Amino acid sequence: MTDAIKNIILFISLILVQIIVLNNVLLWGFINPLLYILFVVIYPFKRDRGLFLFFSFLLGLSIDFFLNSGGINAAATLFIAYIRLPLIKGILGKSEIDFPVFDISKLPFLNLLFFISILTLLHHFIVFSLEYFKFSAIGTIFYRTLLTSLFTIILLIFSLLFMNKAK
Amino acid sequence: MQLIINFIIKYKYFLFFLLLEIVAISFTIQGHSYHKSKFVNSANFVTGGLYKRINSFKEYTNLRTFNQQLLDENTMLKNILSQHSKDTAVNSIQVIDTALYFQKYTYIPAKVIHNQFHKKYNYLTLDKGSKNGITTDLGVVNSNGIIGITNSVSENYATVLSILNENAKINVKLLRSLHFGTLEWDGKDYNILQLVDLPIQANIKAGDTIVSGGKSTIFPEGIPVGTILNFSKENNSYSRIDIKLFNDMSAIGPVNIVTNLDKEEIQNLEQDLFND
């Protein structure tokens, strides 16, 4: 029960942080880190994947409502939520994961960094591809994906460190 | 039958994922189109309410600029008024300004509570809605020029399709001649827009002023937009004309929403024309 409440608090606070703080941050005029995907990174690896997929979709859609961006963030967040389990299995080289005791913060740092980077790059690539929606803009899409991902990854690592300290 | 059920059970997460993804993509496509009442917009109670609250803090940091803007606008309007009385006295109509076109417009004041300028499809959110008489497809302007066109409207809030949006196409003309073109945005610099479809006969030079054209039923004629920054010619036509806006699109505060009272009449007339 407490787990569910924790996740709801995380869900709401990530939206608020993204809207109130981060969407007002525009580094060099266009880099806007999308920290809210922290939800996908730290949501517990339990077996109720359906609920997790639905919440991820809802989180992205909530951001879309604020940004008037159709379903761009919803599509991207849902995608990385779906890919998360196969990805972590691939990184650890295991076919099964010991779900009840598996904790993302217990991963070795390099593995964690790799996991976060892949998720972020995929997410941002989908966001910018859907935003530009044109093959001729592929250069701009890659450019923005890489630069924005860099700042999102840094923020994600810092928030994970901070959350571990707080525990 | 058993096979199908087994298939669904085996791939239930994938099917669920696919279903939600299709929903998200259809919202995206709907969001990219211009004329459609969008389901996902920030004019609703929750998002509008939060933006209004955030804005009530942010507003203070810009009060000085906005005060100066309003003072400038007041001075400009007073100058137009005094000019007008002189013009009627000597019976000349040399000055081009909105007050002399005798069109019927009403203005509703509003505040921008959320502003976007770094994306490809930018929207603003206003703190006025259908309760204040706002409908879709109304022009939004401030003293320095055109801001956008209202898009989705709820009871208390409205979203505005910014001129910094790939879907925005606004009829503009040169101040010193009657040649008109269309104002678009290429998605790069938020203070530089592009003027397209301007005939080569319009002999332009850098620094020429561009004003709204009045060919649409949305904006009154003669609202300032910007100046020509640079242009290039190719095959005896203008290939690219950059317009520097008078407005700083990253700092928009108080705006006016323009309603054209003759809009319905004009549209009815045009409807008849197309039906024949």
Residue B158 and residue B141 in contact, taking contact as beta carbons nearer than 8 Å = no
User: What pLDDT is recorded for position B190?
Assistant: 85
Q: Is residue B1 part of a domain?
A: no
Q: Is residue B14 part of a domain?
A: no
What is the distance between the alpha carbons of residues B171 and B184, in angstroms, rounded to a whole number? 9
Q: How many percent of chain A have pLDDT more than 70?
A: 92
What is the distance between the alpha carbons of residues B139 and B256, in angstroms, rounded to a whole number? 8
Q: Would you call B17 and A78 a contact, using CB atoms and an 8 Å cutoff?
A: yes
Place of tokens 């949006």: B165
User: What pLDDT is recorded for position B76?
Assistant: 83
In this complex, the residue of B31, B50, B118 whose CB is nearest that of residue A69 is B31
pLDDT tens-digit series, residues B45-92: 788 888 888 888 888 888 888 888 888 888 888 888 777 665 555 554
Phi-psi region of B179 (alpha: psi -120 to 50; beta: other; left: phi over 0): beta
> ipTM for the complex?
0.79
Q: Is residue B97 part of a domain?
A: yes
What is the distance between the alpha carbons of residues A158 and B169, in angstroms, rounded to a whole number? 43
Q: How confident is the model at residue A98 (pLDDT cuts 50, 70, 90)?
A: low
What is the distance between the alpha carbons of residues B123 and B159, in angstroms, rounded to a whole number? 6
Mutation for testing the B interface, residue in A19, A68, A77, A129 having most B CBs under 10 Å: A68
Number of domains in chain A: 1
Q: Is residue B148 part of a domain?
A: yes
Q: Which domain holds residue A136?
A: 2-166
B214, B223, B260, B217: which is closest to B245 by C-alpha?
B223
User: What pLDDT is recorded for position B267?
Assistant: 82
Residue A65 and residue B27 in contact, taking contact as beta carbons nearer than 8 Å = no
HEC per residue, chain A = CHHHHHHHHHHHHHHHHHHHHHHHCCECCCECCCHHHHHHHHCCCCCCHHHHHHHHHHHHHHHHHHHCCCCHHHHHHHHHHHHHHHHHHHHHCCCCCCHHHCCHHHCCHHHHHHHHHHHHHHHHHHHHHHHHCCHHHHHHHHHHHHHHHHHHHHHHHHHHHHHHHHC
pLDDT tens-digit series, residues B137-157: 888 988 888 898 888 888 888
Q: Tell me the whole-structure pTM to 2 decimals.
A: 0.80
Residue B241 and residue B228 in contact, taking contact as beta carbons nearer than 8 Å = yes
CB < 8 Å from A in window 65-124 of B = 114, 116, 118-121, 123
Task: Please name the residue of chain B whose CA is at the shortest distance from the CA of residue A144.
Answer: B119
SS3 B8: helix
In this complex, the residue of B38, B50, B159 whose CB is nearest that of residue A19 is B50
Q: Is residue B28 part of a domain?
A: no
Q: How confident is the model at residue B103 (pLDDT cuts 50, 70, 90)?
A: low
What is the distance between the alpha carbons of residues B82 and B75, in angstroms, rounded to a whole number? 11
Q: How many percent of chain B have pLDDT more than 70?
A: 91
Sign of CA dihedral B96, B97, B102, B103: positive
Q: What is the mean pLDDT of residues A20-42?
A: 81
pLDDT over 70 (residue A21): yes
The single-letter code of the amino acid at B133 is: G
User: What pLDDT is recorded for position B276?
Assistant: 63
Count Cβ–Cβ pairs < 8 Å, chain A vs chain B.
103
What spatial distance separates the first Cα and last Cα of chain A, rounded to whole Å?
18
Q: Is residue B36 part of a domain?
A: no
Q: Distance of alpha carbon B162 from its chain centroid, rounded?
A: 5
pLDDT tens-digit series, residues B215-274: 778 888 888 889 988 888 887 788 888 989 888 888 888 888 988 888 888 888 888 877
Number of domains in chain B: 1
Mean pLDDT of chain B: 82
Q: Would you call B29 and A70 a contact, using CB atoms and an 8 Å cutoff?
A: yes
User: What pLDDT is recorded for position B49?
Assistant: 82
E-strand stretches of chain B: 105-114, 121-126, 139-142, 145-153, 158-165, 170-174, 180-184, 192-196, 209-212, 224-234, 237-245, 254-260
What is the distance between the alpha carbons of residues A76 and A123, in angstroms, rounded to a whole number? 5
Q: In CATH, what number is assigned to the domain containing residue B180?
A: 2.40.10.340
Q: Which domain holds residue B189?
A: 41-260
Residue B170 and residue B185 in contact, taking contact as beta carbons nearer than 8 Å = no
